[in-house]
Structure 1
Amino acid sequence: MLDLKADETTNTASTIDVLEHDDAVQTFPLSGVRLHLTLGAICICLFLITIEITIVNTALITIANDLLSFDRSSWIVTAYLLTYVGFLIIFSKLSDILGRKPILLFSIAWFTLWAGICGAAQTTSQLIIFRAFQGIGAAGVYSSCMIIVFELFPAPKVPFVAAGVSMVTALSLVLGPVLGGLINRSNQWRWVFLFNVPAGILTVVMLQFLLPRNFPNALSDEKRHGVQIRLRDFAQRIDYLGAFALLAASVFMVVALENAGLRHPWKSPIVAVPITISGILWLLFVFWERTLTIKKGIREPVFPWSFLNNRLSFGLFLTDFLLGPPSLVAIYSLPQRFQVVNGSSPLGAGIKLLPYTAVTSISSMLMSALASKAQIPVLYIIIFCSVCQTVGFGLLSYIPLSETVSSAQFGYQSLAAFGTGANMTLLIVMSPYLVTKKDAAIAQGAIGQFRYMGAVIGVAIVTCTLNSYVQSHLSVILSREQLNQLLASVLAIEKLPEHLQSPVRLVMAEAYNLQIRILMGFSAAQLVAAFLMWQRNQVKFVLGGE
């Protein structure tokens, strides 16, 4: 059975009632081989969209050197994540209105198309734009897949299945950096995008035949009879203003952070104006979503106000947001350090990152199983894992400034990864039980959205930090021409006079240490945010028979 315990909010209690009611009336149309093949196809989809983040990280230096754009290379990552973040909840809502299957198939096809186009990019600007379009498809794939997983199985099996799906996602963290390094051994970085094409086509074909047309077998007459909503009604239900405000606020914030310190001072209008606009748009978004939720009209908010109005769900999403930078930025920053400071190849950097990515995968499965079998309150484990993150990143941020790799840092990586991986799964599994069934689908999109929103902002912050530190410290020892060449391609280090190469690498090493200290701060803040989910009787889940 599934035992959920909470004491002080009617929201949680009502969620339990709704879940029990739904299990009594909802049918699960897939079983046997067809069910397992469908789940396998969904896992492939999640693997592809996640590995597209990690595989690029070890290839980023090679891409930047080839396209002469080291100072803009972070945009190759953030462009993908920005549209990923901006469209997650939108696709969740679209799948509610138009159906799971058509949205999922469209999203996979869109993602696959733009992955192929990314592989044909000839300039950095082209690649950034193409990656943004690819991220739109990834958002639809993630939100649709996570919703479908929760609808394929009855509630008692959901935590186990969700942990397995999270394991697949974590596996992409392990394989991505290594595959990226292998591909770059021959300098064929375009294959980090092109390999998605055959895999994407395969999953479209599989899901076309495996997933029922009107999946899921939902409760509404509209879906039970497979009736498609009319275009006019569809247009009336979409929250256009909320979707625009959310995406635009994120874009303006990242633009400001990416430009600050390197190209323009913080007081420059090019930095100050986007930050101001972003702040106004965030306020507009919150106000509009609250207004829309209270009105209870036909138009449905992309982010229900009830998520923020309830302390437990607010704590859940805040903790998830703060988990974003540790879960992604380390995979973005550490391979660069290994290549730029320690002179590792892309493959070598991917291998040196294995302690982080492998432990992330193991802990994501281990700690969710521990919470289930030992009936340990989930929040206790989240708090413990947040402490592990804070300590691990703290130790990692003070490794010696040297061109050689310290063996101790692999242990620090593992400690930080242990906490990160476990919390990624635990927050996903908890989300359906802290919101009503009506908002369960959008909550799944919101969990991914908040985490990657945090990751986007985290990448922008650490990029700003590195660029500002490098420019201020290297401008003393390098000429303007040498510095510009370095910002275009880190291969310029090898062309510097020999007596300058080591000092430049040590400056870069300290800049990367500063990036990790920022992750320590996010982890510590995550620990504080987790206490917002504190209850007298903590939430537990136990796997068992029906």
Structure 2
Amino acid sequence: MSFEEKNSEEGRQSQLPRTANPEPIASQGRQLTYLTGWRLHMTTFGLCIGLFLVNLEVTIVSTSSLAIANDLHSYDQLGWILTGYLITYTGFIMIWAKFSDYFGQKSSVIASSLIFVLFSGGCGAAQTITQLIVCRVFQGIGAAGGFALGILFFTGMVPKEKFPLYGAVLSSTVALANLAGPLLGGALSKNSQWRWVFLLNVPVSLFSIIILLFSIPTGFPYHNQTASSPTFTWPTVNTLVASYKKIDYLGAGMLLFGSLLLSAGLLESGKTWEWRSAPAICILVIAGVLFIAFFAWERLVSSDRWTQEPMFPWKFVHNRVWMGVLLSSLLNGLPFFVLVIFVPQRLETVHGESPVQAGIKILPYTLVAAVGAVIASLIVSTGRIAPIYIMLFFSALGAVGTGLLTTITSTEYIPNEFYGYLTLIGLGIGGTWGLTVPFVGHAVDQMDVSSACGALIQFRILGGALGIAIMSATMETYLRQQLPSTLSPVQLSAILKSTTAISLLPPELQAHVIEVFAQGYSLQLKIVTGFSVAQFLAITMIWRNPQIMFAERKKKENIGS
């Protein structure tokens, strides 16, 4: 018995079905049909556009966020411009993936794209920081569906042996967005043109929607079943009602509000209120209780006594390999999003680089991340080396790179080593992330693919949201601790509203403030290094004997045959 067969058999034996047919209603009695020909190519193209845009929306703000915050006189709210998007991006990924079981993958991906388009336009039209943050929150809801459903589509479009190839396509698309984001964000930050950061999504997303409407078959991935097929039945009112009853609304709500409160507590503590104050403690405690309640509820809902289908099946907890993949995804997302956001900010604030120059100087990181994902996928596609060894190697590269980056303390110039360290980090993060997606088809059962895809992306974006919140709070607290001794309350308040206020200070104060900012960014990197090391340890959970392989080893043909 092969490892995959053994793993699948263990998964079936470890948890008895709660009903005679444990599959979602949308897929009961139906078989997957893979896409071919023009439908496969056009659907892949349309999905890649969507994946590109929702990931671009994170990195494009990395070099434009400072201009946005300064233009709206809200530097102290900069963290919310980033995290407001990631909170709902995090909270709705598993929800979209699970809802697609009942409302169809095609209709779900179209609906999420329309939400993304609508509120992208709202962000571009925002006149105040509050309006922008609100629109960013709703924009994140649509983006969550675009990302989660994009990956879910790939698992139903092609057979498992093609997962490494399409995993490379997916990872390259995400990495390309990470590459283009800082450059576009920097270019569009000039002369208060930052609104185009959001408005450009509208026509491109509409183009993607049109492609998907025509290329995705109705009923995908079960579109081989027609009204004349004996196993096909059109959904009735009773069937739809039964579907609604199976949705885990409570679990989705606890996950969303837990993410919201945790991010809010981390962002506002040390700024709006002290860390030891009652509001800070209450919000963080409530967030912790919600996460504990979420997992307790998911365990309860996973039992035979409940009709709801859990957002996070409890069998995942007993699947050590899959938990290792999820923890690796979470700890991969944290350094990735933190570096792509705060490295450009350091270049602009400490070294006086323009947004465009900052975007160019971070290319060794974003460009090599794409290369790392492709290299890792190509290596495992040969079937010669198990994915875990490749993941451990790339993870080690990332940890070493972040550790070395903390040694750069100069505020006067950017040493050449800076680019080498960014290259190491890019290879490490890209190569590790590129191999997590194919595990969906090898570490969980087919009936859990939707939940697994949602959880995989959910953990990564949650890591990013928590990372940005932690680093924003770290910088805010550090500035408030170090600057009051040399700056007046008015000067400190002005700098926390807009970093352009640094140029209004006397030269000796400017040098001191820039030095404090540099120390704050170094402190952030030290924290990131700790999380990078933790990711290496999380990957060891994937260890099995025999190891999971994504492809069979290609045999050499005999010369005489």
TM-score for the superposition, normalised by structure 1? 0.94
* 1:437 alignment partner AA: Q
SS at match of 2:188: helix
1:19 corresponds to: none
Aligned-partner residue type, residue 125 of structure 1: T
Alignment of 1:527-542 (within 5 A): 527-542=536-551
Distance (whole Å) between structure 2 residues aligned to residue 175 and residue 185 of structure 1:
17
1:489-530, Cα deviation, whole Å (9 max, x unpaired): 000000111111111111101101111111111111111111
- Indicate the residue corresponding to 2:59 in structure 1: 54
Name the counterpart of 1:348: 357
Partner of 1:197: 202
The amino acid across from 2:232 in the alignment is H
- Alignment partner of 1:244: what SS? helix
The CA distance in 1 between the partners of 2:235 and 2:514, in whole Å, is 60
CA contact 1:34–1:210 (8 Å) conserved in 2: yes
Question: Residue in 2 aligned with 1:44?
Answer: 49
**Separation in structure 2 between the aligned mates of residue 473 and residue 134 of structure 1, nearest angstrom:** 36
Could you report, residue by residue, the CA deviation over 1:337-379 in whole angstroms, capped at 9, with x for unpaired residues? 0000000111001001100001100001111111222521111
Counterpart residue number, 1:215:
220
Which ranges in structure 2 are unaligned for 5 or more consecutive residues? 15-26, 555-561
Question: Residue type of the partner of 2:359?
Answer: G
* Residue of structure 2 in register with 1:501 after alignment: 510
Once the two structures are TM-superposed, the CA of residue 298 in structure 1 deviates from its matched residue by 2.2
Conserved 8 A contact 2:381-2:550: yes
- Structure 1: any 5+ residue segments left out of the alignment? 16-21
The structure-2 alpha-carbon separation of the partners of 1:201 and 1:503, relative to structure 1 and needing over 3 Å to count, comes to: same
Correspondence for 2:427 among 407, 418, 431:
418
Q: Does 1:260 align with 2:253?
A: no
Distance 1:203 1:92, change over 3 A: same
The correspondence of residues 22-421 of structure 1 with structure 2, limited to 5 A, is 26=31, 28=33, 30-217=35-222, 225=232, 227-228=234-235, 230=237, 231-295=240-304, 297-373=306-382, 375-421=384-430
- The 1:260/1:374 distance shift into structure 2, 3 A limit, reads same
- State the Cα distance separating 1:141 from its structure 2 match: 1.3
1:262 deviation in Å?
2.6
Q: State the one-letter code of the partner of 2:483.
A: L
Q: Would you say the 8 A contact 1:82–1:135 is kept in 2?
A: yes
Q: 2: distance between equivalents of 1:229 and 1:75?
A: 44
Cα distance in 2 for residues equivalent to 1:92 and 1:9: 21
* 1:372-423 Cα deviation digits (max 9, x unpaired): 2252111111111121111100110120232321211110111111110011
Distance across 2 between alignment mates of 1:175 and 1:297: 46
Shift of 1:13: 9.0
Choose 374-383 or 352-361, whichever is displaced more. Answer: 374-383
Shift of 1:154: 1.6
Q: Secondary structure at the match of 1:395?
A: helix
Offset at 1:431? 2.2
Post-superposition offset of 1:7: 6.7
Please tell me whether the aligned partners of residues 100 and 144 of structure 1 are also in contact (alpha carbons under 8 angstroms): yes
Query: 1:100–1:226: structure 2 CA closer, same or farther, 3 Å change rule?
Result: farther
Q: Secondary structure at the match of 2:378?
A: helix
Structure 2 counterparts to residues 400-479 of structure 1, below 5 A: 400-479=409-488
Counterpart Cα distance in 2 of 1:45 and 1:226: 31
Q: C-alpha distance in 1, partners of 2:202/2:13?
A: 44
Q: How many residues align?
A: 536
Residue 229 of structure 1: how far off its partner (Å): 6.1
Matched to 1:199, the amino acid is V
In structure 1, give the amino acid aligned to 2:194: W
